[in-house]
Chain A
Amino acid sequence: MAERPPAADVVAPLAAARRPFVRALWTWARNQPLGAVSASGVMLLIVMAVFAPQLAPFDPLEPHYDTMLAAPNAEYWFGTDQFGRDVLSRIIWGARTALYVGFTCAILGSTLGLVLGVASAYIGGWFDLVVQRIIDVFLAFPLIILALVAVAVFGTGTDKVIIAIALPFVPECARVVRSGALAIRELPYIDAARALGFSNLRIILRHMAPNCMAAYLIMLTSFLGQAILTEASLSYLGMGVQEPNAAWGLMLQGGAALYAESAVWVAVFPGLAITLAVFAFNLLGDALRDTLDPKLRSR
């Protein structure tokens, strides 16, 4: 049975409702051209990750020993690696690993940071003092060093790498969120909530945390790029995702130095993928900050 077209009186209000969103998006894209380009890049990555099985021309794990280290050609657009695996397919599947690690780390790290930062600001006193000094200690170490220590403790593998990368994000986000939460804590509606007898947990989670969302979202997007880069670095050092999985850093680890001269494509394409992904997320983060920060919005 043929589907009936929706009535005109139903379509019109929907289109009208959609129009302001499209217009707002268009306005945003015009005001933030780099943001728009990076958002497109991020979308492309997400499409690659979601539709990897449909998009990849070959099984990323399947070796073809008769075409080991084949240069880019009509069959293998990005060439093959030392096991004869298709580099393009591994890059497409690698997007899945990158985004899985990136999003999980960023969401985990920034959400825990948000809760900790708001709690620290709201409770104050000795709790705030102790938490902030611990955060000072964590912030003294570069991200990759902390991640390496965590990998050494927890071991290698995708899930352990996520913990290793997410952990150092927690204090970073907590410190940024705390500064905003300190101001929110003094607002009258928090006093009102307290006067109404709401629990501390409810005040933190329902009344303060939502008002720190701008900082949270900015940190989250900036963590995405960092997480992808750190995952690639750990895999490059042999401490991240393990063979034969497809991951960009791992692809560099397997061939960057050894085939730098004889088969440059083994290193160049994963290197480009990492660079473009990190650029896209970082620029998107910048654009979001410009959009969400009221001080920058007026400029």
Chain B
Amino acid sequence: MKLARIKAVCAAVLGIAAVHTAIPAAAQTPKRGGTLNYVVPAEPPGYDGHREGTFAMLQPIRPYYSVLIRVDPNNPSTTTDFVCDVCAGKVPEPTDDGKVYTFKLRDDVKFHTGETMTADDVVASFNKIIFPPKGVRSLRRGMFSMVESVTNPDKSTVVFKLKFATNAFIPVLAIPFNWIYQKKILDKDIHWYETNIGGSGPFIFKERQAGAFMRGDRNPNYYHKGQPYLDGIRAIFATKESLRVQAIRGGRADIEFRGFPPASRDDLVKALGKDVTVQESTWNCPIMFSPNHKRKPFDDARVRRALSLAVDRWGGAKYLSKIALVKTVAGITFPGHALSPSDEELKQIAGWWPDLKKSRAEARKLLKESGADLSKTYLFIVRGVDQPYKIIATWLIDQWKQVGINFKMETHPTGPFYAIQRGSKEFDVSTDASCNTIINPLVDVTKYLSDDRASNNYYQYKDREVDALYDKMQRLTDVKAQRKLMFEIAKLTLDTHANQFPVLWWNRIVVHRSYVKGWKVSPSHYLNQALDNVWLDK
């Protein structure tokens, strides 16, 4: 028994180590053939990448489409390394004081219908995303607020003209939902892609069996020569986590891209040893709690500040990472990014102080000063998803109890939860998360702007100081100056005005069969899902 445990631990260590020393895998010659079976926790609600925002749609369908630029699939953890997909050469540098980006397109990109992709298709696709006609929903329209126009002077050139120079543009352009559609089809029926699939990606869509799977075959005319290595892909839908774990354990699936909790990782490693590999990454997704600024006593910044001061983030990171999908302590920006504060800077913010006793004493003092009614039990609404929402919420209730403020937890399935959080606002504090695709703090922090500017701020407050700092920051191109302003925004949001609070950042744990090669974990379950560089070492 002991020997088995030692073996399992060694295998886990080797598995994780294998990721961090992944060079040998990259050096291997890819083998051709085989079908990649991967499990997806939910089914796609629609097929149009421009209007949807869920991984449940992206993971099964992204391999059928191309994008203009993408995060380097060989280095998906990067926050700055973008490469061309259908554009030629390298991602261009801007001209005209940073306000014009000119992309030259490859001439060998063909849609699965056999027709060649031209700049007309790229322009039509981005116009649909950035300037959708009435009746067409585009989820990322607001992110492209800096774009003035998208045009094509000829069949192989696309020009993006910006209203102002900003280094937020390229990361927004690389969002993996920005699929290139055929202009011909869009002209005929702009809603066609909502219910049909037809792109120019590495795989050609073959069939979907609702409730079971989606399947595609290799695109023989794929423009990245030699790729894809696989003969086909099959996305298997399995809502229950235990089912997905067992699918990998039993060999019915090779990988699950979204991420497992630590217990499932340990079970798989214990059961399969070196037959599975574990890849981990900090996730571009903080789990948060946000008070309703219109409800007493949370309309008082002192009470909100006390809530944050009560939370032992540094301690929580240690023990919660053993049971939940969380690990890293950070503020409003992705840890380690050029615009993020160092740990030392972070520790200056209330709630992130390393001295927990001091923090909690301050929290008690603030609660007393504010005159908050501590005999009452306040309502904490929680999205009814175990990982990590319910786990973190249970922990938070205990943290707040330590400073004398009591909460009753009310979990709701996703739909009703959103209805309360976004509609009726019948809550005192709510769980939230800010999961993003490309790491782009200039866009990611828009959640902390006033509620009349941020569509995903549901907490009924306006903070014009933060808005003004953000506007100023967005128009800068000097990273140092931006970083300074970003820290000011963080200090105001988390400390002085105490608006909303990240607790911990998620930790992505991908466990896959060791024969799956070429795929590397990224900080988002939306990234690196084209699967053109994946191969099976069988």
Contacts and interface: CB of A to CB of B under 8 A. Distances in A.
Asked if A pairs with B, the answer is yes
A123 to B, nearest CB: 40
A83 to B, nearest CB: 7
14 contacts: A61-B398, A65-B315, A83-B323, A83-B395, A83-B398, A157-B408, A242-B408, A242-B411, A243-B393, A243-B397, A257-B240, A258-B242, A258-B263, A262-B266
B384 interface: yes
Given A68-B322, A257-B241, A244 B409 contact: yes
Given A65-B315, A238-B411, A262-B267, 6 more contacts: A238-B390, A238-B413, A242-B408, A242-B409, A243-B390, A244-B397
Contact of B394 (A83, A155, A258, A260): A83
Interface of chain A, helix or strand or loop or mixed? loop
A157 B242 contact: no
A82 B391 contact: yes
Interface string A56-85: 000001110100110000000000001100
Interface in B428-487: none
A152 B416 CA distance: 9
A261 interface: yes
A157 B394 contact: no
A156 B380 CA distance: 13
Contacts of B394: 83, 243-244
A63 B263 contact: no
Nearest to B384: A238
Best-buried of A69, A238, A258 by chain B (most CB within 10 Å)? A258
Interface in B390-415: 390-391, 393-395, 397-398, 408-413
Nearest to B324: A82
A63 B384 contact: no
Contacts of A279: none
Interface in A137-187: 152, 155-157
B53 to A, nearest CB: 24
B402 to A, nearest CB: 11
B176 interface: no
B264 interface: yes
Interface in A257-272: 257-262
Contacts of B267: 261-262
B331 interface: no
A266 to B, nearest CB: 10
B410 A65 contact: no
Contacts, number: 60
Given A82-B323, A243-B394, A262 B263 contact: yes
A63 B411 contact: no
Nearest to B390: A243
A83 B324 CA distance: 11
B319 interface: yes
Closest 7 CB pairs of A and B: A65-B319, A243-B394, A257-B242, A82-B323, A242-B409, A258-B263, A238-B384
Contacts of A83: 323, 394-395, 398
B291 interface: no
A199 B147 CA distance: 80
Interface of B: 240-242, 261, 263-264, 266-267, 270, 315, 319, 322-323, 384, 386, 390-391, 393-395, 397-398, 408-413, 416
Interface of A: 61-63, 65, 68-69, 82-83, 152, 155-157, 238, 242-244, 254, 257-262
Contacts of B411: 156, 238, 242-243
A61 B410 CA distance: 17
A63 B264 contact: no
Contacts of B413: 238
Contacts of B410: 155-157, 242
Nearest to A260: B242
A192 B374 CA distance: 61
A156 B412 contact: yes
Contacts of B270: 261-262
A223 to B, nearest CB: 26
A244 B263 contact: no
A61 B407 CA distance: 13
Given A83-B394, A257-B242, A243 B263 contact: no
Contacts of A82: 323, 391
A207 B323 CA distance: 60
B348 to A, nearest CB: 26
B364 to A, nearest CB: 19
A65 B411 CA distance: 24
Given A65-B319, A68-B322, A156-B412, A258 B264 contact: yes
Contacts of A257: 240-242
A128 B394 CA distance: 49
A257 B246 CA distance: 11
B135 to A, nearest CB: 32
Contacts of B386: 254, 258
A238 B266 CA distance: 25
Contacts of A157: 408, 410
Contacts of A258: 241-242, 261, 263-264, 386
Nearest to B320: A65
B12 to A, nearest CB: 13
A83 B397 CA distance: 12
A82 B315 CA distance: 16
Contacts of B408: 157, 242
A261 B245 CA distance: 12
A244 B384 contact: no
Nearest to A259: B263
A68 B398 contact: no
A257 B315 CA distance: 26
B299 to A, nearest CB: 25
Contacts of B409: 242-244
Given A83-B394, A243-B394, A244-B398, A68 B264 contact: no
A259 B324 CA distance: 12
B486 to A, nearest CB: 32
Contacts of B261: 258
Contacts of B416: 152
Nearest to B399: A63
